[in-house]
A and B are shown apart, each in its own frame.
Chain A
Amino acid sequence: DAGVIQSPRHEVTEMGQEVTLRCKPISGHDYLFWYRQTMMRGLELLIYFNNNVPIDDSGMPEDRFSAKMPNASFSTLKIQPSEPRDSAVYFCASSSANEKLFFGSGTQLSVL
């Protein structure tokens, strides 16, 4: 099993640009999560899906952030427009039923 796959691994962009992060969960997993990690705030849950349906998006910072899961094997997290304070490592994780989380390697986002 390849595990949770995220792309890109690193993203550098300028303030105001649109950023799209991608995630392929582990096959067969029915939960998918987007987390953000910063030194100041640690790991924060942004949103999670169950069977492709968003369940809890209360962690999404503001309307500039949106997430989609068009099918069981793909999800995106979009930031439009991006701001320097969005700089962080963004992790995608997946899970089967209600059990342990499997995390991807993350996307290091830098907004200049």
Chain B
Amino acid sequence: DAKTTQPPSMDCAEGRAANLPCNHSTISGNEYVYWYRQIHSQGPQYIIHGLKNNETNEMASLIITEDRKSSTLILPHATLRDTAVYYCIVRAMDSNYQLIWGAGTKLIIKP
């Protein structure tokens, strides 16, 4: 069973911020939240990860709630090239690599 819950699809207007939610209510204290995306016909691409604090890099920002039961990935200025399936995954750093890849959120950026 997937350890995260994501909406199956979302739309966002080009130039706007895309906010992708993820629920992980059973997350353990040592588990990180990872985000990857998969553009059509390509392999998944790492975006960002975090444990407790909010994180930001050149691609996106990750906001994790104080109780860590949910998070939001923010693409600040979405472009057409951000159209992809976005996966939210939780895993402990010392775990094996049996990552549970759910169905993700299909994000469509519209002009």
Q: Which residues of A are at the interface with B, using a C-beta cutoff of 8 A?
A: 4, 31, 33, 42-45, 48, 55-56, 58-59, 91, 93, 98, 100-106
Contact = CB atoms under 8 A, between A and B. Distances in A.
A100 B46 contact: yes
Nearest to A55: B96
Interface of B: 34, 36, 41-46, 49, 93-94, 96-99, 101-103
Given A42-B101, A43-B101, A48-B97, A91 B49 contact: no
Majority SS at the chain B contact face:
loop
B82 to A, nearest CB: 18
Secondary structure at chain A's binding surface: helix, strand, loop or mixed? strand
A31 B44 CA distance: 16
Given A42-B103, A43-B101, A45-B99, A98 B42 contact: no
A33 B98 CA distance: 10
30 contacts: A4-B43, A31-B97, A42-B101, A42-B102, A43-B44, A44-B101, A45-B97, A45-B98, A48-B97, A55-B96, A56-B96, A56-B98, A58-B98, A59-B98, A91-B43, A91-B44, A93-B43, A98-B93, A100-B34, A100-B49, A101-B36, A102-B46, A103-B42, A103-B43, A103-B44, A103-B45, A105-B41, A105-B42, A105-B43, A106-B42
